[in-house]
Amino acid sequence: MKDWMEGLQTAVVVMVLLRVFSGLAELTVAGLILKFNNVEKALVLNAILAVTGPAVLILSVTIGVYVLADSLSFWKIALIFTGVLLILIGVKS
């Protein structure tokens, strides 16, 4: 088991852990919504997820870009972050 872990980059592990956290948060909130069985509480819980989702996206993209920064030009980095910004604007409505 240790052999395949040796080849993993730290940044990849952190990005995976962020996604696992995000998935667990989604599942936890789904369970809480079922438990409370209340639309008002469901909306509050969904609002919390609306913050965590984009935060995980921004963090994981930032980590990836930071690791690749030496091999990317300024314009490519700017395009990546512009793309992320456009995604966030697009899903806001």
Q: Which pLDDT score is estimated for 4? A: 63
- In Å, how far are 27, 36, 42, 57 from 30, measured between CA atoms? 5, 10, 9, 20
- For residue 19, the one-letter residue type is R
Rounded to two decimals, the pTM is 0.78
pLDDT at 68 > cutoff 80: yes
pLDDT at 89 > cutoff 60: yes
pLDDT tens digits along 3-54: 666 777 899 999 999 999 999 999 999 999 999 999 999 999 999 998 888 8
pLDDT tens digits along 51-67: 888 899 999 999 999 99
